[in-house]
Amino acid sequence: MNLLEIENLSFAYENLRRKSPNYVLNNINLHIKEGENVGLIGENGAGKSTFLKILTGLLDMQEGKVQLSSLELKKENLRKIRTEIGYVFQDSDSQLFMSTVYEDVAFAPRNYGKDESGVQEAVTSALRQVHMEDKKDRQIYRLSGGEKKLAAIATVLAVGTRLMLLDEPSAALDPKNRRNLIRILNELPCAKLIASHDLDFVYDTCQRVILLSGGEIAADGDAEKILTDRELLEGHGLELPLSFSRERGYMGLGTENSHRFFENRNCEYFPCHKEAGVLNCMFCYCPLYLKEKCPGIPSYIEKNGRRIKDCSNCTFPHQPENYDTIIRILKE
């Protein structure tokens, strides 16, 4: 079932309309299903942030039709629509303005007329979903950047959001908080539209990707298919995610690129990679399976680091904190 349907949406800022007929968004048609996670990518100026602001009514829609379930995006429906669509700003400090986490998360439910027992229930549920129950009385200024981002997400969850819009959610987060945010977003059942330049983050959180270019949809489809299409991305001002770039050694199962990294560096163990067709782990070679296969891998991991995911060929926990153990096993 489609949660959001958009037909022929076009938008131009007033100063641009006087000088040129070019639109920031031009004839956008798309839909988002219940519970679907969609990445919105594109170079600077592609129209991503403008698109998100239109969906929440922060910018007036000029042409086209936007419908959320049975509600059409119109001024008279905005109050109801904003309980269905939640917007998480790139800068969390722009979204958090009360003294404590509890008061910030409680603000919207109170504003929509819930009694205090209903407010408490909504806040408790929202904070539980972002794993911040123990910080409900924490003052906002004492939160880390990652905690502020989670508190901002909780503010939109507290009103029962069905579609969450996130603008550059991983910006300025350290690796630990970034991983934690990915985990929490993947746990949330609501649909999500994530606008980001962090294509690795998009890959980790979205099954579908929409590529905006020049205000139009240049591609819409499977996340892995789009994010591994070098020609498509570079043709629209982007680059492959680090996880798939040659410099990081793209280890796609059964692909030519999975071996080219070693071949181009005159790796004498290149044939062993080609033979290792049982590997299903996209971003690492299973150390227990390959420790006898290629002694060249440990030095590569040690020098460059890797983004590690679970590997179906062994039970070894492939997490960043286990890099040293992985290297030790490979060197044994």
CA 160/CA 122 separation, integer angstroms: 8
Confidence (pLDDT) at 66:
95
Residue 220 buriedness (CB in 10 A; 0-12 / 13-18 / 19+): middle
Within 13 Å of residue 311, how many CA atoms lie on the same side as its CB? 25
Helix or strand run (H / E) with residue 331: helix 323-331
What does the mean pLDDT of the chain come to? 78
> 61-84: per-residue pLDDT in tens?
889 999 998 899 998 999 899 999
Confidence (pLDDT) at 127:
97
Both tokens of 33, joined, read 């299903």
Confidence (pLDDT) at 172:
87
Confidence (pLDDT) at 137:
95
CB 249 within 8 A of CB 261: yes
Percent of the chain at pLDDT > 70 equals: 71
CA 64/CA 203 separation, integer angstroms: 30
Confidence (pLDDT) at 153:
97
Confidence (pLDDT) at 14:
74
**The residue type at 66:** V
> 132-162: per-residue pLDDT in tens?
999 999 999 999 999 999 999 999 999 999 9
Return the minimum-mean-pLDDT range out of 29-33, 92-96, 146-150, 282-286.
Answer: 282-286
Q: Distance between terminal CA atoms of the chain?
A: 53
Q: How far is CA 326 from CA 151, 234, 244, 261, 321, in A?
A: 35, 34, 21, 20, 10
> 274-312: per-residue pLDDT in tens?
333 323 333 344 443 344 444 444 444 444 444 333 344
Instruction: Find tokens 């033979």 and name the residue.
Output: 275
Confidence (pLDDT) at 250:
37
CB 202 within 8 A of CB 229: no
CB 182 within 8 A of CB 201: yes
Within 13 Å of residue 226, how many CA atoms lie on the same side as its CB? 25
